[in-house]
Structure 1
Amino acid sequence: MRRALAVLAAVPLILSAAACGSEGATTGATTSTATSTATSTAAAAPSGVKVTGNVGAKPTVTFPAGSPATKSSYEVIQPGTGNDVKSGDRVIVNLTVYNWDGKGNAVQGSSYDTKAPETIAVNEQLPQVLQEGFTKVKHGGRLLAVLANDSAVQQQATTPAEPTKVFVFDVVGTQPAALKAATGKETGESIKGVTVTNPGGEKAPTLSTKTGEKPPKELVVKTVIQGTGAKAKASQTLVVHYTGKIWGTDQQFDSSWERGQPAEFPLAQVIQGWQKGLAGVPVGSRVVMSIPPDLGYGSQAQQGIPANSTLVFVVDVLGAY
C-alpha cells in the first residue's frame, strides 16, 4: 500500500494510499448538526473530529482523546450554496490532510499553504466514502472525511497499516468537461514520411507510417491542429485520444479511438517521448510525434512493439487537469 506523499506533492496518490484501506468501507451518514445551517463554522463528525473556521481559509481540526477512528466516515461541515457536485465531475478543491495516529495527529499538508487548489475526479477510483460525500456538498461547501483502515482484505500481511487519515475539502468549483476532439486551425505541418489525414468533426484521423524514409534519431513533434486551450503541464493528468504505429511498417499497436474511449493518465507516468512531446501542448491540439527507441521502450519488446522501434503517434489533447 502506497504511503501518503510528503505534503501535497500528488493528491491522487495521497487519496490512493488512503483508498487501499478504505474502499468498500462503511460510509457514515451526515448528521443534522453538520447540515442544519449554511452559516455554521463548526461541526462534530461521527468520529468526534471537530472542524472550525470559515470556508475559504485553512481550517482548524481538533481530534478527540483516545485511539483514532477505525471506521471511515464523512461529514458535511458546510453544505455550500452553489452548483451541486455530481458523480463524474472533476471537482476543484482546497484541502488539508492530517495523519490521525492518536499522538501528534500531524498535518500532512494543505493547499492553502501551497496556494494551489487540486482537482479530484469524483469516480469509482475514489474510496466509497468520498464518492458519496462529495455528492452531498455544493460549490462553496466544506466536507470532512475520515479514511480508516477498515478494509483489511486490501492489505498485505507484511505491510503496516496506514494511520487513519483526515481530509477537509473546501469545494471551489468543477473543471470543464474534456473536449471530444481537437478543435482549431489546421497548420499543414507534418513529419517527413508520415501522413495524417484529418476527416473533421469527432472522427479519428488516419495515420500512415509506411515509408522508406529513415526514422529521426531525435524526438520530433509537429502540430497538426493548433488548439487554443491552456498548455498542458508535466505535472498534470491528461485526457487524450491517440493512435500509435511503428515507423516504416504502418503496423498499428494501439488506438484509443478504436476502443471508443479517451485515455487518461498522469503525464509524468508515461514514456519519456510522451512526457517531453506533450508538455506545453495547448488543450484542443492534435499533434503527431516520432519517438526514438531511447525515449520509448528501447531494447525491451512490448506487445505489438518490436525492440528498438521508433514509435509514431497522432494525439488529440482533450483535457489537462
Structure 2
Amino acid sequence: MTGDAGKKPTLTFPAGKPALTSSAQKVIEGSGTPAKDGDVLTANVTVYNWDGKQNKSPGSDYDQGKSEFVTVSPQLPKALHEALVGAKPGGRVLAVIAKDNLSADQINQAKQQGTDFNASSQVLVVDIVSAAAKAAQGSAVDPGLNGVKLENPGGDKAPTLTTKTAAKPPKKLVVKTVIKGDGPAVKADQTVLAHYIGKIWGTDKKFDSSWDRGEPASFALNQVVKGWAQGLTGVPVGSRVLLTIPPDLGYGKEGNSQGGIKGTDTLVFVVDVLGAA
C-alpha cells in the first residue's frame, strides 16, 4: 500500500486468486483516544474489489472530496469492526471483507449489485479523521429568548428544552449560540452529524429527539427544511444552537401530520453540531 494518511491510498494486490477469508489490520497508528463501540468517526473510506483480475476501486471518499460518518458497532462486518475498535484519529486501518463475514442474504444482495463474494472479496481502507463528541462541550450561555427555557446539565447529558409559553413566537428565523464550538464552520453542501430535540412553540410538545433514540442523526443540509439549512450553515462544529423556525422555513402551510405539526406551528430546536463531512 502507498499513500500517507489523509491522501488516497493505492493498493497492490498479490498475484493469483483473492483471499476469501476476512482479516483486519491497523496500518497507521494515529494518536488520541482509541475508538470504542458507539463512537461515530469522521473518516475517508476507499473500497477495492479484490477479484484477482482487475482489482478495481469502485469508489473513494477522496474522489468525492467529502468524508463520511462511520459508527463503530458490532453490527458491522466482523473484520471492519475489529479494525475500527481501538483506531485513533490520524490512523489508517484496512479490512478484508469476505464471505465468512457476511450472511447469505448479504451475499445474495451483493451479487445482485455486481459483487460475487464466492469469487472475490472487498478491501476497505479507512482513514480516521476525527471522533465526534457525545454532546457539545463547554460552558453554556442563556439564549435569551422570551418564551423558551433551556437547561444545560453539561458533560454528555442531553439538554432540557421547554417551550410552554403564552409569548408570541418570532416571525423570522432565530439562531442563538448556546455553546460555541471550536471546529470548522459547517458548509451548506455538507452532511451534518447532530443530536437534537424538536418542540412546538407554545405547547411544549416534543415531536422528535435524537437523544431519545440514543444516537445522533446525520443529514445533508441541502435536503432538510430551510430553517435548518439556513440556521446551521456557518455554525462551528462542536456548537449547541437554539433555532426557532417559522412555518414558511419549516413544513409550510401543509405542516407535518406525522409529527403532529400544523401549518401555523413555529418549531423550536436545540441542536448539538457534532460533526460535518
The change in CA–CA distance for 1:206 and 1:177 in structure 2 (over 3 A counts) is: closer
3-state SS, counterpart of residue 105 of structure 1: coil
Which residue in 2 is equivalent to 1:263?
216
Which residue in 2 is equivalent to 1:185?
141
Which residue in 1 is equivalent to 2:47?
97
Cα RMSD over matched residues? Answer: 4.0
Q: Which runs of 5+ in 1 are unaligned?
A: 1-51
Which residue in 1 is equivalent to 2:58?
108
Which residue in 2 is equivalent to 1:53?
2
Q: CA deviation at 1:94?
A: 4.7
Q: CA deviation at 1:116?
A: 6.0
Q: How does 1:136-285 map to 2 (within 5 A)?
A: 142-148=92-98, 150-154=102-106, 160-163=112-115, 164-171=121-128, 174-175=130-131, 177-179=133-135, 183-186=139-142, 188=144, 190=145, 195-202=147-154, 204-208=159-163, 210-211=165-166, 213=168, 216=171, 220-223=173-176, 225=178, 227-230=180-183, 231-234=185-188, 235-245=190-200, 247=201, 249-256=203-210, 259=212, 261=214, 263-268=216-221, 270-282=224-236, 283-285=238-240
Q: CA deviation at 1:261?
A: 3.8
Which residue in 2 is equivalent to 1:18?
none
Q: Deviations over 1:278-297 (max 9, x none)?
A: 22223323212224256327
- C-alpha separation in 2, matches of 1:83 and 1:315: 29
The change in CA–CA distance for 1:281 and 1:117 in structure 2 (over 3 A counts) is: closer
Equivalent pairs counted in the alignment come to 259
Kindly indicate whether the alpha-carbon contact (under 8 Å) linking 1:91 and 1:175 is maintained by their aligned counterparts in 2: yes
3-state SS, counterpart of residue 185 of structure 1: coil
- C-alpha separation in 2, matches of 1:157 and 1:92: 27
The change in CA–CA distance for 1:280 and 1:127 in structure 2 (over 3 A counts) is: farther
Q: CA deviation at 1:223?
A: 0.6
Q: CA deviation at 1:131?
A: 1.0
| 1:87 has 2:36 as partner | yes
Which structure has the bigger radius of gyration? 1
Q: TM-score, normalised by structure 2?
A: 0.70
Q: Deviations over 1:204-250 (max 9, x none)?
A: 3443254474773xx613215251433334423322231321x4544
Q: CA deviation at 1:97?
A: 1.9
The change in CA–CA distance for 1:293 and 1:167 in structure 2 (over 3 A counts) is: same
Which residue in 1 is equivalent to 2:274?
319
- C-alpha separation in 1, matches of 2:88 and 2:173: 45
- C-alpha separation in 2, matches of 1:103 and 1:136: 33
Q: CA deviation at 1:315?
A: 0.8
Kindly indicate whether the alpha-carbon contact (under 8 Å) linking 2:43 and 2:69 is maintained by their aligned counterparts in 1: yes
The change in CA–CA distance for 1:243 and 1:141 in structure 2 (over 3 A counts) is: closer
- C-alpha separation in 2, matches of 1:313 and 1:281: 17
- C-alpha separation in 1, matches of 2:32 and 2:213: 30
Between 281-290 and 175-184, report the one with greater CA deviation: 175-184
- C-alpha separation in 1, matches of 2:72 and 2:256: 36
Q: Deviations over 1:90-133 (max 9, x none)?
A: 44545432233555332234455667665533224533321112
Kindly indicate whether the alpha-carbon contact (under 8 Å) linking 1:241 and 1:256 is maintained by their aligned counterparts in 2: yes
- C-alpha separation in 2, matches of 1:64 and 1:222: 58
Which residue in 1 is equivalent to 2:118?
none
Sequence identity (%): 27
Q: Deviations over 1:288-315 (max 9, x none)?
A: 2224256327636433414535341231
The change in CA–CA distance for 1:69 and 1:116 in structure 2 (over 3 A counts) is: same
Kindly indicate whether the alpha-carbon contact (under 8 Å) linking 2:94 and 2:125 is maintained by their aligned counterparts in 1: yes
Q: TM-score, normalised by structure 1?
A: 0.62
3-state SS, counterpart of residue 82 of structure 2: helix
Q: Deviations over 1:53-91 (max 9, x none)?
A: 36536333225434x5555x1232636374573323444
- C-alpha separation in 2, matches of 1:226 and 1:307: 30
